[in-house]
Chains A and B, each alone.
Chain A
């Protein structure tokens, strides 16, 4: 035991929502000068624990302690006064306000009752320098890319000079460079005696950064120990509760010589003059730093945004689909990254969500067959291991299960080409494994998978080829033999020519 009192601690806290226990007797202690990892699959209770620690929720049982003293009624205000800052997963920024106004949000320096813009500028600038934000402070946040907004979010937390910093998956939208800056920064803050709670699904970050780990599984604590002496596989075992086996399925080539999609001089959104052949039976990865135009490539192929091309063939039909219904008819299906906004209708039943593409295909005024829908839904749920009543709203599911529903809804239509936009972002390890298996099986069945991913290991281990996108162009097309995290990252950052003939 350390002799220093933890800056922030939870002692045997429990919390239930509508009778469902989410946390049961969980304890965690954040020590000064230590980066504490909090691991667990989606739905394990991590977010709830953060909300209890930051006062956003009140525990049903147990206590929250600050500096070793129990705080009976923790609130966000008290938490802030105690120097606890949280960087949430959902961004809390206001797009129409400037960077500085967002960083100071909720704690503006005042002079005669008015916001002291000079003081704000000085303090915001200091926070920006910490996270490497060099845009003018007056830039509206709405003009920034997602990764930069995340940095503003972190700057907002640092602006308050916290003693305890809680970060909930801060790197999920960051580029490799930004991640590096954040890692160095956290290391420095740790040296200054700040207690850091770090939540991430990226185990290599956790291994590199953290000294102590707490693992949650189904609302209970399965490990609370120093990280030294554990390896990534051991952590996964603790999270999943069984041996992880291989996270990635064994790679077996299934590529054929026929192409599913061919485009020449394809331009859409940020993408310019792309030549691409997508073959049946392959998983084609799309990599690169965040926001280089990868998403526009998928959306353009899918006909969801305007696209131009010199020539194109999609599943034997010449020309781009030019519209989503046409794309669906040609056998294309798209699974968006933002499942809450684009992938699912959260307040509607799981079953309705699964049936949506079918509704689009049925004759508009034909009566629905509830029985057939129910059967389809049940078989999809069984196929993808989606548990529970399908009449519940989709928002009742954990992130991983929501993603499965977003995928499942296309399955009855037997798509020939799956366009996936970061399907495993914020998804727990077990679901990741299931998704990977599905994708490989899909390719093995002679179909094409286009996998846009921000998770580099995923590209390395799952894909037959990876197109690395930089500044709206395919900077490199890496064949299986040349795939490694180093080649992808260096191509993404424009370090050296990695072009391998396609």
Chain B
């Protein structure tokens, strides 16, 4: 990876900084590993090519929305419109890709919609200084309404070859995720990207230090929108068609995954690797409980308890210190 600009031994700063960021998530990584092992035991098929493909495909959209939520929470914001944005991404993909725009045009439409919605939301939140939770709640109605206008009932179509590529027996989803993570690391190594933390935790101080606080926050909303519609495209490819309400559950699951991953609500706390691990854990929990034969109700209750536990354990340890 070309993240460290050069290998001068004297300036070994980047990796120690990264190591410090790992400290908070080590315990989480262990838990994820334990669930992975449990899952592998319950479902040995995980270690075959198609089992791995299926598993990463079920994780992939959750990973994207967890990132979309985490990037906002790092700036001190939040979005309740992620689910609606996923739905909109799905219906745009399902209505454009088989038409004259083709797959490339459809993908571009999905990406531009995500960026545009995100940037507009960010602009309203940041420039008008309105609370993110209210703006995105209102946004979820508008965006969800737009999805229903485009496709009032499930329909549309995703070209079969694209569905096979993304959601067939291929590791495409996993590879895409690797690419996205690398892009994220690169973004975080830019001044604008790293500004996320300063803008989230101490906006006044950051502004006085010359950090482009507003730009960093608007950019975070735009990236968040892009990740959300991207997740929508993938979900549409999985089902082969578009559904205007398919994304609804992602709003709260994205928050759950980010919180599991140690992202704080106050801004500037947590890491993206934590949020990704959180989404993986949530995805694993759902699968493991499914294999253990939990009823859906029991699954939800267990999920809730685990999330509270995940937030409470570090807190209890801090108090005990």
Let me know if A11 is at the binding interface, CB within 8 A: no
Give residues in A with beta carbon < 8 Å to B: 56, 76-77, 80, 86, 88, 90-98, 100-101, 105-108, 110-122, 136-140, 156
Given contacts A105-B211, A116-B5, contact A97 B194 (CB under 8 A): yes
Q: Which residues of B contact A115 (CB under 8 A)?
A: 189-191, 194
Evaluate contact between B202 and A118: CB separation under 8 angstroms. Answer: no
The answer on a CB contact under 8 Å between A108 and B209 is no
Contact partners of B198 in chain A: CB under 8 A: 94, 97, 105
Query: Would B10 and A118 count as touching, CB distance under 8 A?
Result: yes
Report yes or no: B5 in contact with A91, Cβ–Cβ below 8 A: no
Could you tell me if A114 and B17 are in contact, using CB atoms closer than 8 angstroms? no
B16 within 8 A of A: yes
Check B268–A76 contact: CB distance below 8 A: no
Query: Distance (Å) between the CB of B88 and the closest chain A CB?
Result: 31
B11 within 8 A of A: yes
Q: Are B205 and A94 in contact (CB under 8 A)?
A: yes
CB-CB nearest 8 A-B residue pairs: A92-B205, A118-B11, A106-B210, A138-B16, A121-B13, A106-B209, A117-B14, A94-B198
In the assembled complex, B129 has its CB within 8 A of some CB on chain A: no
Alpha-carbon distance A120/B190, docked complex (angstroms)? 13
Kindly name the residue among B16, B186, B207, B209 whose own CB sees the greatest number of chain A CB atoms within 10 A: B209
Judge if B201 is at the interface, Cβ distance under 8 Å. Answer: yes
Q: Is the CB of A92 within 8 A of B5?
A: no
Q: Does B163 contact A (CB under 8 A)?
A: no
Take A96-B269, A119-B11, A120-B13 as given contacts and tell me if A114 and B209 are in contact as well, using a CB distance cutoff of 8 Å.
Answer: no
Q: In the docked arrangement, what's the CA distance between A115 and B210, Å? A: 15
Nearest to A122 among chain B residues (CB) is B11
Select which of A100, A101, A108, A117 is within 8 A of B4 by beta carbon: A117
A117 to B189 CA separation, bound complex (whole angstroms): 9
- The answer to whether the Cβ of B206 comes within 8 Å of any Cβ in the partner chain is yes
Q: Which of B192-218 contact A (CB under 8 A)?
A: 194, 197-198, 201-202, 204-211
A-chain residues with CB within 8 Å of residue B19 when the two chains form the complex: 138
B266, chain A: closest CB distance, angstroms: 11
B108 at the interface (CB under 8 A from A): no
Q: Which of A90, A92, A118, A140 contacts B20 (CB 8 A)?
A: A140
Closest A residue to B191 by CB, please name it: A108
Q: How many residues belonging to B are interface residues under a CB distance threshold of 8 Å?
A: 33
| Cβ of A300 to closest chain B Cβ, rounded Å | 15
The residue from B20, B190, B210, B269 contacting A139, defined by CB atoms under 8 A apart: B20
CA distance A76 to B212 in the complex (A): 12
Which residues of A lie under 8 Å from residue B317 when comparing CB positions? none
The reply to whether A56 and B208 contact each other, CB–CB distance below 8 Å, is: yes
A96 and B5 contact, Cβ closer than 8 Å, known pairs A101-B194, A115-B189: no
Closest to A118 in B: B11
Contact of B13 among A56, A94, A137 (CB under 8 A): A137
Q: Jot down 11 A-B pairs with beta carbons below 8 A, ordered by A.
A: A76-B208, A88-B205, A88-B208, A97-B197, A105-B209, A113-B190, A117-B189, A118-B5, A120-B11, A120-B13, A140-B20
Q: Quick one: closest A residue to B264, CB to CB?
A: A96
Asked if A114 and B210 sit within 8 Å, CB to CB, the answer is: no
Interface contact A92-B201, CB-CB below 8 Å: no
| Closest CB in chain A relative to B112 CB, distance in Å | 23
The CA-CA distance from A409 to B4 in the complex, in Å, is 55
In the complex, the answer to whether B208 meets A92 with C-beta atoms within 8 Å is yes
Chain A residue nearest to B210 (CB atoms) is A106
Question: What string of 1s and 0s marks CB contacts (under 8 Å) between B1-45 and chain A?
Answer: 001111010111110110110000000000000000000000000
Q: Please, how many angstroms separate the alpha-carbon atoms of A113 and B189 in the complex?
A: 9
Q: How far is the CB of A105 from chain B (nearest CB, A)?
A: 5
Determine whether the beta carbon of A92 is less than 8 Å from that of B204: yes
Please, how many angstroms separate the alpha-carbon atoms of A77 and B211 in the complex? 10
> Taking CB as reference atom, which chain B residue is nearest A108?
B191
Question: Given A105-B211, A110-B191, A112-B5, A94–B17 Cβ distance below 8 Å?
Answer: no
CB within 8 Å of A: which B265-284 residues = 268-269
Does B208 lie within 8 Å of A117, measured CB to CB? Answer: no
Q: Taking the nearest CB of chain B, how far is it from the CB of A340, in angstroms? A: 13
* A116 closest partner in B (C-beta): B5
Q: Scoring B residues 155 to 199 as 1 if CB is less than 8 Å from chain A, else 0, what string do you get?
A: 000000000000000000000000000000010011100100110
What residues of A have a CB within 8 angstroms of the CB of B201 in the complex? 94-96
Q: Which residue of B lies closest to A110 (CB)?
A: B191
Report how far A348 CA is from B300 CA in the complex, Å.
41
Question: Is the beta-carbon distance between A114 and B186 smaller than 8 angstroms?
Answer: yes
10 more CB-based (< 8 A) A-B contacts, given A95-B202, A118-B10: A97-B194, A97-B197, A101-B17, A105-B210, A106-B211, A115-B189, A117-B5, A117-B17, A118-B8, A119-B11
Nearest residue (CB) in B for A107 is B210
Q: Mark B241-276, 1 if CB is under 8 A from A, else 0.
A: 000000000000000000000000000110000000
What CA separation (Å) do A105 and B12 show in the bound complex? 18
B189 touches A98 (CB 8 A): no
Given contacts A76-B208, A86-B208, A117-B11, contact A94 B190 (CB under 8 A): no
For residue B11, which residues in chain A have a CB less than 8 angstroms away from its CB? 117-122
A316 CA to B1 CA in the complex, in Å? 68
Which of B3, B4, B210, B268 has the most C-beta atoms of chain A within 10 angstroms of its own C-beta?
Answer: B210
| Cross-interface CB contact of A94 among B12, B191, B206, cutoff 8 Å | B206
List B contacts of A110 (CB < 8 A): 191
Nearest A-chain residue to B192, judged by Cβ: A113
CB neighbours (8 Å) of A116 from chain B are 5
Tell me, rounded to whole Å, the shortest Cβ–Cβ distance linking A118 to chain B.
3
B54 to chain A, nearest CB (A): 36
Report the bound CA distance from A76 to B208 in whole Å.
7
Most buried by A among B5, B8, B12, B197: B5
* Residue contact B13 to A100, C-beta cutoff 8 Å: yes
Contact A114 B197 (CB under 8 A): no
Q: Report the minimum CB–CB distance from B156 to chain A (whole Å).
A: 38
B261 to chain A, nearest CB (A): 14
Instruction: Chain B residues near A92: list those with CB within 8 A.
Output: 202, 204-206, 208-209
Q: Closest CB-CB distance, A249 to chain B, in whole Å?
A: 38
How far, in Å, is A116 (CB) from chain B's closest CB?
5
Q: What distance in Å separates the Cβ of B260 from its nearest Cβ neighbour in chain A?
A: 18
| Chain A contacts for B5, CB-based, 8 A | 111-112, 114, 116-118
Question: CB-nearest residue of chain A relative to B186?
Answer: A114
Q: Is the CB of B205 within 8 A of A93?
A: yes
Once bound together, how far apart are the Cα atoms of A122 and B8, in whole Å?
11
- Given contact pairs A114-B189, A117-B4, A117-B14, A80 touches B197 in the complex (Cβ within 8 A): no
Minimum distance in angstroms from B59 CB to a CB of chain A: 26
Task: Find out whether the CB atom of A106 lies under 8 angstroms from the CB atom of B186.
Answer: no
Taken together as a complex, chains A and B put the C-alpha atoms of A13 and B269 apart, in Å, by 41
**Cβ–Cβ contact A138 & B208, under 8 A:** no
> What is the chain A residue whose CB lies nearest that of B270?
A96
- Contact, CB under 8 Å: A118 / B6: yes
